[in-house]
Structure 1
């Protein structure tokens, strides 16, 4: 059995989730309530591969809210992730994906040193961040969407915003080794880490966001957009492909201009319907078919019986691992989302 650990994108979104799933006691509760709410299985599902194989899974709601970090409730946030992991393990789930902020919290706050939750010793091989599959899907979205806009990758300039992160660095490796682009622009907040990435890749130009955007034919955004950051669409190239790989996805609302095409990054479409409610709640256009690539990674690992933390640690993703997860992704009927957001 596979598991998915997720969370609402905001307190307001949490109310919608509780209402949709029939948990009236969770509706209209304040942040204090959500800080103390325990993890809960909010959905059970069956996924069918195009090979005919079927697997069972559970969606575990961690009850984490991004407002916990904004309000300096770091202990509550870390406790949410660890409790959800312990809950999944206790219920016998073989491999569980840490969705949304769950994997970011785990990495940034070094939660692996806290290996015991009450009487449960966490078996980390039961968990995956799903970042390898996400990086693969975003890279394939670049490859497949660019020609639709008349962008030749061999001549294109690609800016990766959030380049030093786990997903961002993997996308940079792919665009350097697997499908080399003409110019690679590296954007992130930590300049030292950017320079280390540049040295590792043997290429790429370190730039600020404002410097990079006017030069880019393609912008891969793999970090949440900081509050207050605005994109001047008049400075962007036309056409420009903008892949929104952050969470929550909101660039389509912020960037609306003729010639600028926004694609929801890290989203896959399955060839067969999945009977579940969660993707409707996160506003997927086709909720029975579309899902986050990180969630799909746990499904793929269950299909293949690869019970291991396939994606783990920071900046450990190789092109070879991306190709490996990509092969089984295709095998079981997943493909990158290529529908542009409507203006």
Structure 2
């Protein structure tokens, strides 16, 4: 059985969903209450592959909210993720994906040093970040967007914002190995890690986000948005394709302009309906079939009996793993989500 660890996008969103799920005490409570609330299994899931194979899973709501990362509540945020992982392990889930901020918190705050959760020693082989599948899907979305909007990647400038991160560096590796690009712009806050990436790729130009955006035909955004950051759509090229790989996906609302096309990055659509309820609360157009690629990774691993931390650690995604997860994704009926033409 597989698992998904998720969270909602804000306190307001969480209160609204809690009310619909029948948790009135959560719906009527403030952030302090949510900081203390334990994780809950809120959904049972059944997924059928196009091969005919059927698997079952559970959705674990961590009760983490992004507001906890501000105002001195980082410890509460870390506790949420560890407790959700412990619950998944107690439930006997063989492979569980850490969705949204879950994997970022685990890695950035080095929670691997705190694997003892009450009376449970976390077995990390039971968990995956899902970042390999996310990176693969974003690369496919980039290629499909080039076809859709009749843009030649061989003559295009592609900016990867968040290039030194786990997903960003994997995307850059894949692009360098599988495509001919006009120019690759590497954007991130950590200059040293960007220089290491550039050396490994043997290509790419390091530049700031301010310099990159006006030059890019394609923008792959896989970085967190700095608080107060304002993006000016008027500086973007026409046409310009933006693949928003963040969570929550908020670039489209700030960059609306003719000639700018925003794609929900790292999202997939399954060929068959999935039996679950939770996705109807996560703002997708077709909740029976559309989901985050990181969640789909745990499903793929369950289909294949690969109960291992397939995506784990920082900048450890290889081309071989990208190719393998891509093969499994196609085998079981997942495809990159693209906007309707």
Interval of TM-score (by shorter of Structure 1 and Structure 2): over 0.9
Matches within 5 A, 1:224-243: 224-243=224-243
Per the TM alignment, residue 25 of structure 1 is displaced from its structure 2 partner at its CA by: 1.3
| 1:195 is aligned to 2:195 | yes
Deviations 1:259-313 (A, max 9, x none): 0000000000000001222211111011101000000000000000000000000
CA contact (8 A) 1:166 1:317 kept: yes
Deviations 1:113-165 (A, max 9, x none): 11211111111000000000000000000011112111111111100001111
| Bigger Cα displacement from structure 2, 187-196 vs 259-268 | 187-196
The size of the alignment, in residue pairs, is 341
Instruction: Tell me the equivalent position of 2:298.
Output: 298
Instruction: Tell me the equivalent position of 2:83.
Output: 83
Deviations 1:189-242 (A, max 9, x none): 111111111111111000111100111000000012222222221211111110
* Whole-Å separation in 2 of the counterparts to 1:241 and 1:262: 6
CA contact (8 A) 1:16 1:281 kept: no
Unaligned runs of 5+ in 2: none
Instruction: Tell me the equivalent position of 2:327.
Output: 327
Unaligned runs of 5+ in 1: none
SS at match of 2:316: coil
SS at match of 1:243: strand
* Whole-Å separation in 2 of the counterparts to 1:70 and 1:163: 25
Matches within 5 A, 1:142-161: 142-161=142-161
Instruction: Tell me the equivalent position of 1:255.
Output: 255
- TM-score where L is the length of structure 1: 0.98
SS at match of 2:46: strand
Per the TM alignment, residue 32 of structure 1 is displaced from its structure 2 partner at its CA by: 1.1
Instruction: Tell me the equivalent position of 1:21.
Output: 21
* Whole-Å separation in 1 of the counterparts to 2:239 and 2:270: 29
Moved over 4 A (4+): none
